[in-house]
Structure 1
């Protein structure tokens, strides 16, 4: 979409922040620059995977990369999804398969593997939860996320964090996503559909009303064919008409649905992002550029990850009673080790102590390409980290950590480091590239 003259921009390839609207990134030359005058303040996003099932099948069989692919049933079934090459030929989801094959007879048809797709969906949602616990799945391949309040934790605006997430998903999972960023769920969902595939679109507060005026009522999320037909019979087809109507009269005619439509027509949506049940884990992980096996290399990375997880716990008023260490070997075998804590904790010091103990048992010469640390078994923050009579130095370390948190909140995450991480390279959250 066309944005107003922007005072803020970000490159979706190198993640460089710019101060003006550019057609190309000044650092890497990429044309994939997002510019908007509210880009630095918006934090509610909708992430939607592009042609999800077909993209996974192409990932798993590279020979299909440049071919039309349809995922669906046999000749008497329907299309579950189609890749963008097939969509150019007119193939659409829910279309009868015989009709799809008439439009695109050269397409490769693959029966759905829902177990595989669900597993990939879980991996992507975990990457989202690594950034914020406020993740609300809508389906297997899309979810809302609210990054408000995480800017200080990540050391960058939410929009930049989202461009990094999209790049990480594409490189590590092998599928692309489109992201919509706005000030509420309705508009974030609408924005994510604007530039698929690999899109990143923004709808700001200032432009909301004018942007919606030009849209048909059918663009409102939840308006199906039956409701659209009923409104059309009453002469209502454009959102601009709803904006200009008297709200009381419209609500009288259409009841609760009228109230909902009236609010959305004005861009009002006060629904919050609601995680599906209580958060099951908060974690952070990184994939190395080169496989590592020495404690001297792995321990500093583990410490940084523990500090990230601790920061996320503190940002959400949670404490954890369980610690999980994840290691992926050079041949892609996953090792998961867990430990139950005596008391709930929010402290990086305690998370690191448990994680390091688990790591030491795995240092047998095996080379690792990934390390991660996670927390689970949540309890209220008020129950966290009681005085430890067995460890007389605990109170001093807890006080020192509080001082570190205060300094980092004021000056940024990299303002001060511990002895474990000082001078050590930062772990790369981006996966290695082939």
Structure 2
């Protein structure tokens, strides 16, 4: 009789021996039936932890009377948008970025709560401290999710990476009273995909033996970096599934899609060389504002842009960074989103950011009504690595 694959208990983090006798459906330590099994379970070391409906979960934690009710976190007027919602609200079709008006049409008995970002950050910092107690290699992606490289945890703590991930999430539940889902694999791409497979309070793993076969029937959008624009280009070339990418020659993909072609070739085969980087710098810094009423004129839009440019400049100053591109974001009355960018000399000056933003804005103001404006800096660098403008001038 073939022994069952290795397992981990999702309630107590025990790793029962697959060679043991007795009931293989229960944890011998705590009796739980929440055993997760996978053939490569204890040889995988890259994890992705994603908190479940983070904002809404924190609010329900602090307001127990809402535990079984639909909760939406977002603007409290009909022009606002949904920042997050609980799974009860999702069952009615509510989704993030939906207008509050539409969300209430779908789920009229939902409780709307204004976001409390300071509170969410405090919980997020505590969650990161719990993760860092198991490994210094924690790369936050946002306030509520992170990659972890748990290589070597066996030697340090005498537990496998799978057990460490379960223990981290157990501490989230015990100390922070929030829940999270776990993805485990041998690289970041697949760990992130795995964490989305079983929510909430889920645990999924993708191993080397199954990666290519698992990916083949999936839509290309499952791959990191395939956004709407690239998706349209791939679809135009008859590439809709990851298996279509697997059938393509690397040279053809590079010729057709440039450097991204090589990335797609590797990702389609479950290969990802990106490392978990605990001190990964900010990729962009931005600020935006949704208006209480639609705005159409350049002076009014420029006036709204000034305080946003000030906020971006202050954050650049705090983080010791300079921006080399200014990005303008606009959203029209009918929710069409526009982004425009302009290269600038490395800067953290609010005036420079504002001037570039207004120059971009002038090209877009044509009588359309806008409901949102934002500005930010990308292509960030540190002052010591920024090129000297005079040296550039003289070659």
Does 2:11 align with 1:13? yes
Q: 1:7, 1:19 within 8 Å by CA — same for their partners in 2? A: no
Among 68, 71, 77, the alignment partner of 2:70 is: 68
Which of 103, 107, 124 is the equivalent residue of 2:106? 103
13-22 vs 142-151, which moves further: 13-22
Contact preservation (8 Å) 1:71, 1:81: yes
Q: Scaled by the length of structure 2, what TM-score is found?
A: 0.67
Structure 1 Cα separation of the partners of residues 131 and 13 of structure 2: 18
Corresponding residue for residue 309 of structure 1? none
> Retained in 2: the 8 A contact 1:20–1:35?
no
Query: Which residue matches 2:368?
Result: none
What is the Cα deviation at residue 95 of structure 1?
A: 0.7
Query: Which SS does the other structure have where 1:248 is aligned?
Result: helix
Question: What corresponds to 1:43 in structure 2?
Answer: 45
What is the TM-score with the length of structure 1 in the denominator?
0.62
Write out aligned runs for 1:280-299 (5 A). none
Give the corresponding residue for 2:36. 34
* CA displacement, residues 214-271 of structure 1 (integer Å, 9 cap, x when unaligned): 2110111221112111111111100001001111111100111111111100111011
Post-superposition CA distance 1:343-397 (Å, at most 9, x none)? xxxxxxxxxxxxxxxxxxxxxxxxxxxxxxxxxxxxxxxxxxxxxxxxxxxxxxx
Give the C-alpha shift of residue 19 in structure 1: 2.9
C-alpha contact (below 8 Å) 2:139/2:280 kept by paired residues: no
- Aligned partner of 1:221 in structure 2 is 224
Equivalence for 1:181: 184
User: Which residue among 193, 198, 218 is the counterpart of 1:195?
Assistant: 198
State whether residues 5 and 37 of structure 1, in contact with CA within 8 Å, keep that contact through their aligned partners in structure 2. no
Structure 2 portions without partners, runs of 5+: 282-395
Please state how far the C-alpha of 1:5 moved relative to its aligned partner. Answer: 7.7
Matches within 5 A, 1:93-132: 93-132=96-135
Matched ranges for 1:15-414 at <5 A? 15-20=13-18, 22-73=24-75, 74-276=77-279
1:122-141 CA distance string (max 9 Å, x none) = 10011111111100000110
SS of match in other structure, 1:67: coil
Q: Conserved in 2, the CA contact under 8 Å of 1:43 and 1:147?
A: yes
* 1:64-104 CA-partner distances (Å, limit 9, x unpaired): 10000000012111100100000011000001111100000
Over 3 Å counting, the alpha-carbon distance change for 1:226 and 1:277 in structure 2 is closer
What's the counterpart of residue 422 of structure 1? none
- Residues 266-295 of structure 1: CA deviation (Å, up to 9, x unaligned): 1110111111269xxxxxxxxxxxxxxxxx
Contact map agreement 1:45 1:145 (CA 8 A) in 2: yes
Unaligned runs of 5+ in 1: 279-434
The whole-number CA distance in structure 1 between the counterparts of 2:32 and 2:204 is 17
Distance in 1 (alpha carbons) for counterparts of 2:209 and 2:273: 17
**Aligned-pair CA distance for 1:16:** 2.2
CA offset at residue 15 of structure 1? 2.0
**1-structure distance, mates of 2:206, 2:192:** 10
Asked whether the equivalents of residues 8 and 14 of structure 2 are also in contact (C-alpha less than 8 Å), the reply is yes
C-alpha spacing 1:46/1:6, structure 2 compared with 1 (3 Å): farther
RMSD: 1.6
Rounded Cα–Cα distance in structure 1 between residues aligned with 2:83 and 2:225? 20
Matches of 1:273 and 1:67, distance apart in 2: 37
Q: Distance in 1 between matches of 2:100 and 2:52?
A: 21
- Distance in 2 (alpha carbons) for counterparts of 1:229 and 1:277: 30
